[in-house]
Amino acid sequence: MQNLKNEMKGAHGAMFHHFHGGGHPVGQGSISAEDLARLLEFIGVDRILPAQEWFERAVSNCLGPDDICLTFDDNLMCQFEVALPVLRHFGLTAFWFVYTSVIEGTIETLEVYRQFRTTQFDSVEAFYEAFFRTIEESPEADPVLNALQSFTPATYLISSPFYSDSDRRFRFVRDEVLGPSRYSTMMDRMIASANLTHVQLAQRLWMGAEELRFLHGQGHVIGLHSHTHPTRLNRLSPQEQREEYERNHASVARVIGSSPAAMSHPCNSYDPSTLGILRNLGIRVGFRAFIEPLHEYCDRSLEHPRQDHANLMQQMAKVAA
């Protein structure tokens, strides 16, 4: 299989989230262990640096143009059970960026809601239809309809070309129109109508302290990803952002027994206040979610680029064709 070197130049991370297999369901954007193995061969296993080495080169400002690392966001159990054996087969280590409220026993709804739409509907389009029917029957109907009248899918989330128009419409309504509280009201209404609970849906979703300590002991790098994973962290006040990352930092440090020094920005959401908070916490290396250029308030050490695995899968399919 053709190596990725000729497809993309410049040091960066490959970003992964969801995997299926071993009891973890097929979901939107999820890949199998076999998919991951083929993708690593496509990237070029010899090009993928151990996570600690990539970190040290980044801190020393001596990354080469072909250096790549592997990153996993959200401390998902499917990553540990499906992806980790593949990494071990190839002798690779990775960055694992964790949000820590779930390690402390909180059930965060971001993944719960994803699990609901993954397991309770025949397709993501069927979920979207049900979601918007629920809105039509709620007091949110008029505000959502008014907002969508001027919404152009092609101009929203343009850095994620793998999203369909329906994906963009849903995410626009979720993040820009409803916001966290009103979105939760809609989703919880749907979950209750299905006679399900958050506790039922949260089974086997996240890694815990034991898995993270194991990864740390095997030479992987455990880093920050905020405490509660807000999808629009940059809309929080500086004090709220500080609390997110201070709690995240303290929790990770308790689990692995040392101070974390790497992180990734959840949903690519951050601002100059975020970067200052991270620097004050001793974070040396940070990753954004996209390969595209930095924000205008760039801090290269905390904004290393990443390529989403969905884009890499598309590139691999083009080469195979």
For residues 272 and 278, give the distance between their C-alpha atoms in angstroms, rounded to a whole number: 10
pLDDT in tens, 252-272: 999 999 999 999 999 999 999
Contact 134, 121 (CB under 8 A): no
| Co-location of 77 and 214 in the same domain | yes
In this structure, are 99 and 237 located in the same domain? yes
End-of-domain residue from the set 195, 213, 245: 195
pLDDT in tens, 141-153: 999 999 999 999 9
**Do 21 and 140 share a structural domain?**
no
Residue with structure tokens 């993040």? 175
Task: Tell me how crowded residue 321 is: count the other CB atoms within 10 A of its CB.
Answer: 5
Per cent of the chain over pLDDT 70 is: 95
Q: Residue by residue, what is the 3-state secondary structure of 217-267?
A: HCCCEEEECCCCCCCCHHHCCHHHHHHHHHHHHHHHHHHHCCCCCEEECHH
116 within a domain of the structure (yes/no): no
Q: Tell me: the pLDDT tens digits for 67-92?
A: 999 999 999 999 999 999 999 999 99
Is residue 254 situated within a structural domain?
Answer: yes
Instruction: Examine residue 200 and state whether it is found in any structural domain, yes or no.
Output: no
0.85 cut: is pTM over it?
yes
Domain end marker among 160, 195, 230: 195
In total, how many domains does the chain have?
A: 2
Tokens of 127: 């979920």
| Residue 83, token pair as written in the block | 């992806």
Q: Which domain holds residue 34?
A: 4-106+205-320
